[in-house]
Amino acid sequence: MKGTPIEQALAEYTAAAQRPAPGAQPDTRELLRAFHPDHDAHAKVTLQVGPNKGDICHRQVAQLLQADARIDEADLAGSPVTETDVLVIGGGGAGCAAALVAQQQGARVIIATKLRLGDSNTVMAEGGIQASIEKDDTPQMHFDDTIRASRQVVDRELVAEMVSDAPDVIRWLIQQGMQFDLDDYGDLMTRRAGGTSAARVVYYRDYTGLEMMRVLREAIRTSDIEVWDYSPAVELLSSESGYCAGAVISSLKERQHKLVRAKAVILATGGIGRMHLNEFPTSNHFGATGDGLVLAYRLGARLRDLDSFQYHPSGLAYPQHLAGTLITEGVRSAGAYLLNGRGERFVDELQPRDHVAAAIIRECAEGRGISTGSGSGGVWLDTPSVELRNPGLFEARFPKLIQLGKKCGIDPRHQPMLIYPTLHYQNGGVVIDRNGQTNVPGLFCIGEASGGVHGRNRLMGNSLLDIISFGRRAGAHAAGRAHDRGHKKISIEHLSNLRRELTLAGMPLDSKGPLLFPGYANFENDSDYAGLRKNSEREGMQ
């Protein structure tokens, strides 16, 4: 990357409380078209099979959606079957909220999670959660901000339900035992998210997700909900009448497949960051490999906006081993400027994330960035200016950032940090209604795996809201199915359709989905788990 060398940029940098405003700004649509990674023509393909046949999709996501299954009928011979009312797949914030509500309403609940309970993007969320509670704010303003940021491609009913739920979501979290930052009178403190018209984000320091996740995890662990950890779902089960009737779980502990027969299944598997779309680094958890999209799609669930992803403007760009690590938008919300290699502001820092990310990519592409000398680069996040204006703010409100600084050998109070956009969020996902129900009966989907809530661009703080709002809704509705009689026959017959369609479309059957783990973890070569691979494949190898 061309640009000012980092040593030179640092030598030229001086902290200043105020800096001149950026120059005239281009139209957002033009900026996005020219510089946002979603608009890279090489990244897009048309889906050949499935409910979204003919739709545009990211190339790497399409590859998984159109891959063969990991299992055959033969793999399931002798697999034990467990019965339950509600099966939740995924142990992040959305899955835990759904499980707690379903169990409270009398349903028997199993949570199956690929890693451990709480290993999720939720635990890493920093900035906070949106709820219109200040007197100069309303749910309508929250709605309008969300619609505007979504670039208008959004399910308006879902947004209306979510913003109206928001204050009660905060009450529910407090009743689970979650703490928030309070002022001297015990009122909730709020901060402003980029692209919004009021201070609406409530938070616990820059550990909002950690605080939320440890409380929900504890609420589950101290209850009667059954938790299956190290238990990724590799396929959903279907009934003779086309319902979702459970799932096939690959137990990494017992090294065998297990079937769960359920009256309702809630997919809460999270996002796709660890697919490293367009070779971007990611702020996401190790398990974020888009498994839920693949499982739902094969069973006939419709997806949406599969070409739209969020690149968070402030991913750490230096040092290299921490590339992609998130720095919360809260820092820009507190007034941090973005500076290019010439030490100039180049964008209104509180524009929505897609706009700011595209502006950073533009500065670097046009040679006004700061180069690390090893091919990468970025722009300054001007943290010292905030410290000058509000001494002590970082220590009080951003302890996680101070910790990150220590790992980098940088004190963000006195030295700016080099940032570049990092792959952060899957904007689209499985189409749902107001209760998280998909078009496949018995199958619910919530959180990042679902689509329609954030359109093509998500606001800070709307994701933690989304997971609890729709998590509670789906949990309640799934529990309502507990009185059904249950399904007589469960099978993976829908896979024959998948294979027929793939063959007819001339697609190769050599790649397998869901991905489960990023390639660099070498899961597919781990002899410990050989027994979980397809029967046919094992025989072929011998």
Partner 1 sequence: MSGNAHEIHLTINGKDISAPPYLSVIQALWHAGYPRVKSVGCLEGVCGSCRVMVRRADSRQVTTELGCQVLVEEGMQVNFLLFPTPTHHRYQLDEIKNSWEVQARFHQFFPEAEKCRHCGGCNTTCPKGIQVEKGVELASKGKFREAGELFGECVLCNLCQTACPESIAPNHVGLFSRRVTAYFHTRPSNLIRRLERLRKGELQVVT
Closest Cα partner for 103 from 123, 93, 88? 88
Q: Which of 108, 353, 456, 458 is catalytic?
A: 353
- Residue 353 appears among annotated catalytic residues: yes
Residues 6+ apart with CB under 8 A from 459: 130, 145, 146, 149, 193, 194, 195, 196, 352, 353
| Least distance to partner 1, CB of residue 383, Å | 19
3-class DSSP state of 11: helix
In angstroms, rounded to a whole number, what is the distance separating the alpha carbons of residues 52 and 431? 11
Distances (CA, A) of 340 to 359, 367, 451: 10, 10, 34
Q: Please state the closest distance from residue 314 (CB atom) to partner 1, in A.
A: 14
Q: Report the C-alpha gap between 168 and 188 in whole angstroms.
A: 14
Closer residue to partner 1 (CB): 224 or 510: 224
Residue 88: which region, alpha, beta or left (left: phi > 0; alpha: psi -120 to 50)?
Answer: beta
DSSP sequence for 476-510: HHHHGGGGS---S-EE-THHHHHHHHHHHTT----
8 or 140: CB nearest partner 1: 140
Nearer to partner 1, 320 or 536 (CB): 320
**How many angstroms from the chain centroid is the CA of residue 140?**
25
State which residue, 325 or 351, has the beta carbon closest to partner 1: 325
| 3-state DSSP percent of the chain in helix, strand and coil, to 5 | 40, 20, 40
Nearer to partner 1, 326 or 358 (CB): 326
User: Is the torsion defined by CA of 350, 211, 159, 150 positive or negative?
Assistant: positive
Of 190 and 457, nearer to partner 1 (C-beta) is 190
Is the CB of residue 132 less than 8 Å from the CB of residue 167?
yes
Q: Are 67 and 441 in contact (CB under 8 A)?
A: no
Q: Are strands 129-130 and 199-202 parallel, antiparallel or unpaired?
A: antiparallel
Q: Are 451 and 305 in contact (CB under 8 A)?
A: yes
Could you please report the per-residue DSSP string of 498-541?
HHHHHHHTT-----EE---S-GGG-GGG-GGGGGGS-HHHHHHH
Q: 58 - beta bridge partners?
A: 44
Q: In the complex with partner 1, which residue's Cβ is closer, 179 or 390? A: 179
Confirm if 443 and 244 have CB atoms less than 8 A apart.
yes
CB of 255 to partner 1, least distance (A): 12
Residues tagged active-site? 353
